[in-house]
Structure 1
Amino acid sequence: MYIVLLIGIGGFIGAILRYAIAGWVQNSFLNFPLGTLSVNIIGSFFLGLIMYLSEYQGLFGEETRIFLTIGLLGAFTTLSTFSYQSFRLFESYNLMLLIINVMATVLFSMLAVYLGKTVALNFATDVWRGCR
């Protein structure tokens, strides 16, 4: 039950962060879902960072990792919103924006995971060693 509570608290925080950050970014862009794209990229970076710091550096314990990845980042990233907004672009026959949205989300989110891994395995290693 404790793990479920951790996931729920993380989800609560992640949902609020998604609302705030996506809304703030989207405020300037009316026709393109840049807010959703942004939170997916940010969330992918932090998911890569946290998972690789956990796996290779032992920085996060299982409970912290679950709180951050399943709870917080699970609610922060927005695949269902991305899918809906992409479908709306399809419905409006705005195929160029649809293609840009799908390709940018997939490519930049994967790049963000890679960057998170790179930070975890290179830069964070030096910082972590200095703290010991």
Structure 2
Amino acid sequence: MGESQHRLQSHFRDIIRAELAAGGVTTETHPMIHLFIENHAILLRDFVFSGVSLSRQFRVEEIERLTGDTTSMIRVDIWDQLKSHIETAEKQFQSQAGTLPKLLSAFEKPPGSWGSEK
């Protein structure tokens, strides 16, 4: 995976983690939530790169390989498209974030489970 993809996935991971924490969903309350976060970060990353790829002759990964620069996207026109798709993905996730705590209640740590006793 190129550095651009890794950075974008990390960006979405941080946003998802923050949105869930704002709704009271953390790794302490939902021990397996990291799997949900990682999966959705990958989905959002793929949404962004697919959106850019649909409007370009080359995919972002191919551009990185052709330019020999996997550390950053240096073409401004591609960055503008990435930024637009990133903002769309963030807004879409944030519009649904309020429903996540209820949907993720099945993943809560049971009361009195190991590690909750002090």
**TM-score, normalised to structure 2's length?**
0.30
Find the structure with the greater CA-based Rg.
2
**TM-score, normalised to structure 1's length?**
0.28
**Which of the two has greater helix per residue?**
1
